[in-house]
Structure 1
Amino acid sequence: MSRKHLLLLLFFMMSLPQLIIAQKETSLVSWNIRDFGKTKSAEEIEDIAEILRDYDIIAIQEVVAGYGGSQAVARLADELNRKGSKWDYSISYSTKSPKYKTEKYAFLWKTSKVKVVEKGSLIKELEACVYREPFHIKFKANGNKFTVINYHFRKHSEQPETEVNCISDYILNHKEENIILAGDFNLSIGHSAFNSLKENDYKACLDGDRTTLKRTCKDNNYLNHAIDNILHDSLKNELIECGTIDFVQECDRLEAMRMLSDHLPVFIKFKSNKK
């Protein structure tokens, strides 16, 4: 065997464990894409797809309930399909919300990595205690099942902690499931409302990481509130990696990037052990 072939073989053997880990892990990204509807241009949809293309599951909040919201999700799926993987998607019905608070949610997923076990639906039993019913869907990846709840909590001035308590009760009443809660919480993970989940082995992806964008930038300081997050059951999932996707990077890009959204996406890479 030549020296060149020997080096290639050695490189492959060293890379194999990482390839195996990557095949077994599942990645989920959650993003409040502000006013995701007909106002998003083709260029903006392409930018959004480029940011999200490497993840297995995408959970989107703030899909416009009126004309254009569902079409924007379909446009994003089409753009993702042009980038090398086959994607499918599910869009919720409009939430039954107070005036001007109605929206839709969406999930998109790579069909080669993830299968749907139970199709997406709004959690109607929570309708009485939340402004916007959460949207959930049960997936299967690498032989294991998990449910993702996609939710946009009411804004900070309207006491989102009451909705945290309501959704926490729902999750803890379904402990037999492997439930992952993703979305815009409009509340810091340090708030006491999350204590019941934490006491039952739920871990937050982020701990104080700021996820919203300011309107102005000085000294490269453009991040504002720490309110977007992903919570998972640490007994049912092995955490590989989590964090935010900072698509801004520098002050000069802030104005243009705020046209995509005023939130950063949050991602988690995990291995589920729940059959």
Structure 2
Amino acid sequence: MFQKILLLLLLLTALQNFSQQDEITIISWNIQDFGKTKSYDELEEIAELLRDADIVAIQEVVSGFGGAQAVAKLTDVLNRKGAQWDYAISNPTRIPKYVTERYAIVWKTKHIKIKNRGKLIKELETTIDREPFLLDFYIADKKMTLINFHSRPHDKNPEAEITALTEYIIHNFTGPVILAGDFNVDEANPAFDNFKKNGYSPAVANQKTTLKRDCDGFDYRNHAIDNIFNSKTIAKTKSGVIDFVRECDNLERARKLSDHLPVYLKVEINNL
């Protein structure tokens, strides 16, 4: 009898360990004009690219009618692929309507919890056009803060915004932090120097993430501007760019999803 009980306990422990998640994957993606213009088939393709992630930070959600609905529809499509997802959408950013947008974050609920629906960082609204969106996650009872950001265009001094945001993070957070987004400059820009000196590391380096309108020979990528930064309190295991184009013949179809490629970061949750 004792042997049967011991065997049962060992089996239950093994199943519990098997069910525990050791890593999570975070994706950041500027999904161009993400709103009512995205068809169901396009949402299905987007969901296929995201289904293996645990948390997805989306930039360029349309601020007017259709943006929030597109996020809800995408979440519904993801829910039909074997896992339960939830989502949070920011209020529209403060800038005039021709460039204002929303941020969205979607995540699998099995191992990841929240206590609120996030907020735009109002303290930065006078220095950043599209003020970042902050959401705290609780993973294995540990808090991880995700900040989702889309800077102003490369010819409008995004460096000033990056400096303001990174200094804000350095002075206000000590725990695990992820900064994800479209920065409109690459990770080698001096605007990131102090951020990196304070222990923040980019997921990718010198990897182009935007798509050209036309393929130049075999080259369809353009600028290295999308990235994910993690604090030194987070252990990275793998990262990269998700290239869903792969060859020039697919470029036109791929650009119907977005003119950006997603960036991913895989981290250990036991070391948060």
**Is this a same-fold pair by TM over 0.5?**
yes
Q: Which amino acid aligns with 1:76?
A: L
8 Å contact from structure 2 (residues 211, 259) kept in 1: yes
Which residue pairs with 1:55 in the alignment?
Answer: 53
Q: Which amino acid aligns with 1:255?
A: E
The Cα of 1:272 is off from its aligned counterpart by 4.3
Which residue pairs with 1:163 in the alignment?
Answer: 161
8 Å contact from structure 1 (residues 145, 272) kept in 2: no
Cα distance in 1, alignment partners of residues 180 and 135 from structure 2: 12
Q: Quick check: 1:182 aligned with 2:215? A: no
The Cα of 1:178 is off from its aligned counterpart by 1.8
Q: Quick check: 1:85 aligned with 2:83? A: yes
User: Residues 158-182 of structure 1, C-alpha deviation per residue, up to 9 Å, x if partnerless?
Assistant: 0000001110111011232322100
The Cα of 1:139 is off from its aligned counterpart by 0.3
Which residue pairs with 2:248 in the alignment?
Answer: 251
Question: Secondary structure of the equivalent of 1:76?
Answer: helix
* C-alpha RMSD of the superposition: 1.7
8 Å contact from structure 1 (residues 118, 139) kept in 2: no
8 Å contact from structure 1 (residues 145, 274) kept in 2: no
User: Residues 216-273 of structure 1, C-alpha deviation per residue, up to 9 Å, x if partnerless?
Assistant: 1133210110000001112x01111010110111111000110000000001000246
Which residue pairs with 1:12 in the alignment?
Answer: none
TM-score when normalising by structure 2:
0.91
After TM superposition, list the pairs within 5 Å mapping 1:1-275 onto structure 2.
Answer: 23-234=21-232, 236-272=233-269
User: Residues 82-140 of structure 1, C-alpha deviation per residue, up to 9 Å, x if partnerless?
Assistant: 10101100011101013411000001010112111343110111100000010010001
Q: Which amino acid aligns with 1:141?
A: I
Cα distance in 2, alignment partners of residues 171 and 272 from structure 1: 21
Cα distance in 1, alignment partners of residues 87 and 32 from structure 2: 19
Check 1:28–1:46 CA distance in 2 against 1; reply closer, same or farther (3 A cut): same
Cα distance in 2, alignment partners of residues 52 and 167 from structure 1: 27
8 Å contact from structure 2 (residues 235, 271) kept in 1: no
Cα distance in 1, alignment partners of residues 63 and 93 from structure 2: 8
Q: Which amino acid aligns with 1:152?
A: H
Q: Bigger CA drift: 129-138 or 211-220?
A: 211-220
TM-score when normalising by structure 1:
0.90
The Cα of 1:21 is off from its aligned counterpart by 11
The Cα of 1:26 is off from its aligned counterpart by 1.3
Q: Bigger CA drift: 168-177 or 88-97?
A: 168-177
Structure 1 segments of 4 or more deviating over 2 A? 19-22, 272-275
Which residue pairs with 1:7 in the alignment?
Answer: none
Q: Which amino acid aligns with 1:241?
A: K
Q: Which amino acid aligns with 1:147?
A: T
User: Residues 137-194 of structure 1, C-alpha deviation per residue, up to 9 Å, x if partnerless?
Assistant: 0001133211000000000000000001110111011232322100000011111110
Cα distance in 2, alignment partners of residues 176 and 85 from structure 1: 32
Check 1:273–1:167 CA distance in 2 against 1; reply closer, same or farther (3 A cut): farther
Structure 1 alignment gaps of length 5 or more: 1-15
Cα distance in 1, alignment partners of residues 20 and 186 from structure 2: 31
Cα distance in 2, alignment partners of residues 64 and 96 from structure 1: 13
Cα distance in 2, alignment partners of residues 27 and 140 from structure 1: 15
User: Residues 3-49 of structure 1, C-alpha deviation per residue, up to 9 Å, x if partnerless?
Assistant: xxxxxxxxxxxxx9xx9698211111000000000000010000000
Cα distance in 2, alignment partners of residues 210 and 64 from structure 1: 24
Q: Which amino acid aligns with 1:271?
A: E
Cα distance in 2, alignment partners of residues 228 and 102 from structure 1: 19
Q: Which amino acid aligns with 1:45?
A: L
Structure 2 alignment gaps of length 5 or more: 1-13
